[in-house]
């Protein structure tokens, strides 16, 4: 059990490095691997990695979580924040496996909004339910080697217990150095969003993986990360306020305007969404103006966002 993701991340990587069960190369990619991995995160708001050796891309992390909540799976949205995602798109337009948003908000031919369904079940149908499950991987996916983009996440279960919303994530495969960081970030943000929709506390986050692994090219950086002295936070974590689907739509709409260059900093700072979401828009705005770093925008950020953004910028400069 871990209090923060920072601890969970470091210790998981150390575990895979020190006691790999297998060395193999699925689809030709050499890796070390552990099977049947599980861990529990007690504070899902502590979803950031503070390591100076890792320098998490916080702008991408929020963009990915919002991309999931947008219900879209288009490359255009996420490519702006992670140009390398293009490699996983077979048609150059969509990411049907990796773009979980479509699965979450418009699953299958009936376009089931799985998030609204679990909110409705836990609010109005059966708060004790064990069925509030957001299915992601599905049997219609082409799982032969020829497909470059198959969902790694099987699904996310929500359980409302003693007034707190717990999430249990099931993954068939997880890259402990790269994917783990962004997956836990996005999933716990979705957990927090659903908890706010229900008006309940955020509970624990359980992470279960069939194959957790580190790819050969990342081994050196993974070793450097575990050798480093653990970072101490000392800064509080941002806490999401009550958020409706309309607020998410407003945030996505503002992201679109920032993308088109239509908003200056004052427009963003005045934008009528709760401060938590405005902070994330400031991150997108800063990203849109790179390599320039606007001091006033930086100053407006939550201290943790400022720390992570600045730390990442240093890497870009170095
Ligand atoms: O061969 P396979 O489909 O498993 O290759 C995809 C790899 O991407 C996974 O094994 C995992 O290392 C990584 N991955 C991840 O960690 C991919 C996704 C996208 O669904 C993810 N986390 N969310």
| pLDDT digit string, tens, across residues 201-217 | 999 999 999 999 999 99
Residue 194 above 60 pLDDT? yes
Strand partners, 161: 164
**Residue 81: per-residue pLDDT:** 97
Determine the atom of ligand 1 nearest the C-alpha atom of 152.
Answer: 20
Instruction: Say how many Å lie between the CA of residue 198 and the centre of ligand 1.
Output: 31
Q: Can you say how many angstroms the Cα of residue 226 is from the centroid of all Cα atoms in its chain?
A: 22
Instruction: Say how many Å lie between the CA of residue 315 and the centre of ligand 1.
Output: 25
Helix then strand then coil, in percent of the chain rounded to 5, is 45, 20, 35
Going by alpha carbons, the residue nearest to atom 18 of ligand 1 is 152
**Residue 231: per-residue pLDDT:** 72
Residue 233 above 80 pLDDT? no
* Interatomic CA distance for residues 152 and 155, integer angstroms: 9
**Residue 318: per-residue pLDDT:** 38
Question: Higher-confidence residue: 188 or 54?
Answer: 188
Instruction: Say how many Å lie between the CA of residue 269 and the centre of ligand 1.
Output: 37
Average pLDDT over residues 257-279: 98
Helix axes 245-259, 58-70, angle to 10 degrees: 120
Helices (H), ranges, 121-199: 179-198
User: Residues 47, 184: contact at Cβ < 8 Å?
Assistant: yes
To test the ligand 1 pocket, which listed residue (98, 142, 173, 216) has its Cβ within 8 A of the most ligand atoms? 173
Task: Return the closest-CA partner of residue 290 out of 310, 318, 308.
Answer: 310
Average pLDDT over residues 152-171: 99
Determine the atom of ligand 1 nearest the C-alpha atom of 173.
Answer: 10
Helices (H), ranges, 71-202: 75-79, 100-105, 114-120, 179-198
Q: Which residue has the tokens 């709760």?
A: 274
Instruction: Say how many Å lie between the CA of residue 64 and the centre of ligand 1.
Output: 15
**Residue 316: per-residue pLDDT:** 53
Structure token digits, residue 300? 């407006």
Mean pLDDT score of the chain: 96
Instruction: Say how many Å lie between the CA of residue 240 and the centre of ligand 1.
Output: 28
Instruction: Give me the sheet containing 22-24, strands edge to edge.
Output: 22-24, 31-41, 201-215, 164-175, 153-161, 133-135
Residue 7 above 80 pLDDT? yes
Question: How, if at all, do strands 22-24 and 153-161 pair?
Answer: unpaired
The set of protein residues with a Cβ atom below 6 angstroms from ligand 1 is 26-27, 97-98, 150-153, 173-175, 179, 183
* Interatomic CA distance for residues 55 and 48, integer angstroms: 10
Average pLDDT over residues 153-159: 99
271-317 pLDDT, tens digit each:
999 999 999 999 999 999 999 999 999 999 999 999 999 998 875 54
Going by alpha carbons, the residue nearest to atom 19 of ligand 1 is 98
Q: Is 232 exposed, middle or buried (0-12, 13-18, 19+ CB in 10 A)?
A: exposed
Going by alpha carbons, the residue nearest to atom 10 of ligand 1 is 173
Q: Is 219 exposed, middle or buried (0-12, 13-18, 19+ CB in 10 A)?
A: middle
Going by alpha carbons, the residue nearest to atom 4 of ligand 1 is 173
64-90 pLDDT, tens digit each:
999 999 999 999 999 999 999 999 999
Instruction: Say how many Å lie between the CA of residue 300 and the centre of ligand 1.
Output: 35
Determine the atom of ligand 1 nearest the C-alpha atom of 213.
Answer: 12
Residue 31 above 90 pLDDT? yes
Q: Is 199 exposed, middle or buried (0-12, 13-18, 19+ CB in 10 A)?
A: exposed
To test the ligand 1 pocket, which listed residue (179, 183, 222) has its Cβ within 8 A of the most ligand atoms? 179
For residue 86, how many other CB atoms are within 10 A of its CB?
12
**Residue 220: per-residue pLDDT:** 98
To test the ligand 1 pocket, which listed residue (37, 138, 152) has its Cβ within 8 A of the most ligand atoms? 152
Whether ipTM > 0.90 holds is: yes
Q: Does residue 11 sit in helix, strand or coil?
A: helix
Determine the atom of ligand 1 nearest the C-alpha atom of 150.
Answer: 3
């Amino acid at each position: 059990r871990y209090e923060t993701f920072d601890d969970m991340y470091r210790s998981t990587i150390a575990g895979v490095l020190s006691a790999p069960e297998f060395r193999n190369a699925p689809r030709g990619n050499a890796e070390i691997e552990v099977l049947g991995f599980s861990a529990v995160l007690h504070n899902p708001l502590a979803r950031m990695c503070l390591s100076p050796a890792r320098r998490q891309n916080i702008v991408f992390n929020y963009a990915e979580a919002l991309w999931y909540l947008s219900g879209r799976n288009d490359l255009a949205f996420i490519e702006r924040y992670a140009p390398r995602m293009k490699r996983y798109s077979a048609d150059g337009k969509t990411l049907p496996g990796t773009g979980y948003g479509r699965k979450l908000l418009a699953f299958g031919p009936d376009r089931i909004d799985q998030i609204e369904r679990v909110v409705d079940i836990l609010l109005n149908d059966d708060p004790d339910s064990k069925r509030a499950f957001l299915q992601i991987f599905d049997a219609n996916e082409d799982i032969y080697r020829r497909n470059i983009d198959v969902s790694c996440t099987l699904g996310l279960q929500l359980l409302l217990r003693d007034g707190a919303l717990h999430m249990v994530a099931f993954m068939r495969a997880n890259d402990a150095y790269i994917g783990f960081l962004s997956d836990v970030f996005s999933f716990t943000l979705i957990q927090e969003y659903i908890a706010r929709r229900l008006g309940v506390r955020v509970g624990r986050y359980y992470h279960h993986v069939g194959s957790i692994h580190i790819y050969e090219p990342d081994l050196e950086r993974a070793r450097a990360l575990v050798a480093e002295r653990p970072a101490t936070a000392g800064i509080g974590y941002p806490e999401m306020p009550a958020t409706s689907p309309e607020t998410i739509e407003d945030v996505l709409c503002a992201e679109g305007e920032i993308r088109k260059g239509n908003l200056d900093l004052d427009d963003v700072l005045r934008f009528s969404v709760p401060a938590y979401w405005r902070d994330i828009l400031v991150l997108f705005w800063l990203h849109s103006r790179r390599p320039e770093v606007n001091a006033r925008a930086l100053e407006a950020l939550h201290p943790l966002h400022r720390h992570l953004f600045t730390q990442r910028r240093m890497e870009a400069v170095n």
